[in-house]
Structure formats: C-alpha cells, structure tokens
Amino acid sequence: MRTIKAGAKSPEVYYLNELLAKLKYNVIVSDYFGTATDKAIRDFQSKNNLVVDGVVGLKTWSSLLEKSKNGFSSNSKLLSEQDLINFSNQFNLELAVVKAVNEVESNGKGFLIDGRPKILFEGHIFWRELEKRGINPRSYMNSNNQDILFENYTKKYYVGGTAEYTRLEKGKNLGQDKKIIDAANSSASWGLFQIMGFNAIPIGYNSIDEFVEKMNQNEGEHLKAFGLFLEKNNLITLLRNRNWASFALKYNGPAYKTNKYDEKLMKAYHKYSR
C-alpha cells in the first residue's frame, strides 16, 4: 500500500475508507481523502499508539488491517494476466493497449472487502427504469425513499462501499413485483468497470439476473462485460487505432479533456509497450 494523506485521490483511499467504515467511523466511502477521513485516521492513530499525523503509511496500514480483520483476500476473484491476454486475443488488440485501458478506466478493484462486487446505485436511473417497465415512480415517493428515488441526477445520496447495497436493497424492496427488482438491479453500476445494469441485455446477457450473477463471480467477468460494452458501442476500432482522444470522448464524455484521460491512456500505453 502506498503512503497517502489528506488531499489524495486514488484507489488506495477508497480501500482506506472501506476499512474505516468497517471500524464504524463516519466516512463516505470514496476515493477522496477529505476532512472526515483525516479526522477518522487521526482518531484511529491516537487510539492505537501511533504517531498522530494523519499520514497513512506502513504502520497505520498494518494496524488498520489487523483491527478490521479483513476477511476478503482471495486472489481467485481478481483480474489475472491471462484474463488480459484472452481479452487482447478476442478483440485483436495489442496487449499494451488492453493494459493501458485497464489501468486508466478500471475502478482500482472490482470487489468490496466483504467479497461483493463494487456498486453505485443511481436514484435518477431507478426512476427511469421503473417508468420503462410501466411503473409510476411518483407513487413510491416519500421521505423514506428520497435517497433512492428522484427524477434528476444528484450525487448527494452517494454513500459508497457496502452502504450502496443498503440503497440497492431498499430499491428492490419497494414492492413484490419482479419488475421492481429488475429495475433496481438495472439502476446500479457494477464491478471493476462500473457497467450500468441497464446495459445487460443490450450488450448480450440474457437477463439482468444473469448479468448480476456474472458480476458476483470475478473481475474476469467484469472485463468480459467491459469488452461487450466496448464492442456494442463501436469503441474497439478506436483502441486498435490507438485513437485515445476519440475513445476517451465516447467512453468518458466531454469531461475527458479536463481529466486528461486521453493523455493518461497514451502514457500508460507507452509504459506497457516498452
């Protein structure tokens, strides 16, 4: 684990927040090391005879892992070199291209520390998915459901980590109709590449249930879903031609320039092609 501190934004920070949440600290599980994370870490360091500096280095990481008794450490669910080789062969892509895309576009890791795939529940998508199935979302609106059901996009209800499953289950339990369960599962993004559930059938899965079951298996299945998504949206050719800007625009949207996704992809490609 890298040494991190306040202001950092990385997959390691997401994992740190997961551990802190498991230890009952009031943090939002995200990849940003903000004020709440800094406060929690300093409290943890103080209570565990560590230097109270807010810096998460080797000693703090070791203590956090020991105290949290992290139960999910199986490598069987993680992406392997062979998964990437198979992907490059399947889509006739350079392995360096595949590794670059995996590094820049993946979510760091596809599973939570309890072994479930990482998700993010989108309440505005849930609204839309219910409507698509002939269900009026307004009939389910109340103060209890305001964090899972709303008409317009907002990130104010994001909680991250395992708490996103609480939101998902809340959505699935709105009623007994299977359509509601399918709508809820379709309204979450899943796994290493955060593929939205509503893409399941369009990219080739028989049902949202099959998609969710695959996402629970391993990161290799996450990579397969990513490949199907890229193929369906005509992004494979852009990768073959190493057209980083056009790929980043279509995959990440106009914000790719601000976040320099095309530059990151090119830099990662050059690293792996060497």
Instruction: Assess if residue 38 is contained within a domain.
Output: yes
For residues 19 and 115, which has the higher predicted lDDT (pLDDT)?
Answer: 19
- What is the mean pLDDT of the segment spanning 32-49? 95
pLDDT digits (tens, 9 = 90+) for 106-122: 877 899 988 899 999 99
> Distance between CA 4 and CA 56 in Å, rounded?
5
pLDDT of residue 75: 59
- What are the counts of helices (DSSP H) followed by strands (DSSP E) for the chain? 14, 3
For residue 111, being part of any structural domain is answered with no
Q: Tens digit of pLDDT for each residue in 126-145?
A: 999 999 999 999 999 999 99
Give the pLDDT mean for 140-156: 96
In a domain, 29, yes or no: yes
Mean of pLDDT values over 75-97 = 91
In the predicted model, what is the mean pLDDT of residues 153-159?
Answer: 95
Query: Whose CA is closest to 197, among 220, 168, 218?
Result: 168
Identify the DSSP state of 141. Answer: -
Length of the chain, in residues: 274
Band (pLDDT 50/70/90 cuts) for residue 41 is very high
**For residue 155, pLDDT beyond 80:** yes
Buried residues in 137-154 as b, exposed as e (16+ CB within 10 A): beebeeeebebbbbeeee
pLDDT in the model for residue 76: 74
User: Does 97 reside within a domain?
Assistant: no
Cα gap 2→15, rounded to integer Å: 11
Q: What are the Cα distances from residue 122, in Å, to 129, 146, 152, 185?
A: 10, 12, 10, 10
CA-CA distance, 212 to 220, in Å (whole number)?
Answer: 14
Tell me the pLDDT band of 71, cut-offs 50, 70 and 90.
low
Residue 74 has pLDDT above 80, yes or no: no
Place of tokens 């949440």: 21
Within-domain flag for 3:
no
How far lies 262's CA from each of 65, 84, 228, 242, 254, in Å?
35, 20, 21, 10, 11
Q: What is the pLDDT of residues 170-184, one digit of tens each?
A: 999 999 999 999 999
Q: Say how far apart CA 195 and CA 106 lie, in whole Å.
A: 10
With respect to residue 51, please indicate whether it lies within any of the assigned structural domains. yes
Residue 72 has pLDDT above 90, yes or no: no
Q: How far are the Cα atoms of 11, 72, 116, 218, 220 from residue 75, in angstroms, in the given order?
A: 17, 9, 14, 9, 12
Tell me: the pLDDT tens digits for 190-239?
Answer: 999 999 999 999 999 999 999 999 999 999 999 999 999 999 999 999 99
Q: What is the pLDDT of residue 78?
A: 82
pTM here is 0.81
In this prediction, residues 157-161 reach a mean pLDDT of: 94
Identify the sign of the CA torsion 236, 241, 246, 248: positive
* Number of domains present in the structure of the chain: 1
3-class DSSP state for residue 196?
strand
Report the C-alpha gap between 168 and 7 in whole angstroms. Answer: 29
In-domain check, residue 16: yes
Domain that holds residue 32: 11-68
Say how many C-beta atoms besides its own lie within 10 A of residue 117's C-beta.
23
Q: CA dist 148 to 14, 151, 162, 173, Å?
A: 22, 10, 15, 11
**What number is the average pLDDT over the span 140-163?**
95
pLDDT, mean over the chain: 94
Domain-located, residue 188: no
